[in-house]
Amino acid sequence: QVQLVQSGAEVKKPGASVRVSCKASGYSFTTYYMHWVRQAPGQGLEWMGIINPSGGSTTYAQKLQGRVTMTRDTSTSTVNMELSSLRSEDTAVYYCARRGGVQGFDIWGQGTMVTVSS
């Protein structure tokens, strides 16, 4: 079946970097754009950016520009999100989500908890 499986929880110190992976299966990986969304504790959903798995082009949310990098590996149908210079405000659950054509985000990963703490 169509699914996105993310890597496991991470605990990082302020200033460090974290990489979260998202492996797609059950569909043509290069056909659908992939997005990253995060939710800090007690907060709403925040869009982080998008990657085109076909060509690798990206667009990032302005507030994360310079700290976030999204990449893809077509050989493993995996997209990665790396966030650097971590601060406590980056503590959140991070989700990858597929944009289903003209639909919204129809398939989501299970979420990855990233905790930033000294």
Q: Which of 29, 64, 47, 53 is nearest to 104 (CA)?
A: 47
Does 7 bind other proteins (CB under 8 A)? Our answer is no
Q: Which residues pair with 112 in a beta bridge?
A: 94
Does 47 bind other proteins (CB under 8 A)? Our answer is yes
Determine which residue in the list 34, 70, 109, 116 makes contact with other proteins, applying CB under 8 A.
109
Contact 38, 54 (CB under 8 A): no
Contact 50, 64 (CB under 8 A): no
Does 55 bind other proteins (CB under 8 A)? Our answer is no
Does 100 bind other proteins (CB under 8 A)? Our answer is yes
Determine which residue in the list 16, 66, 104, 117 makes contact with other proteins, applying CB under 8 A.
104
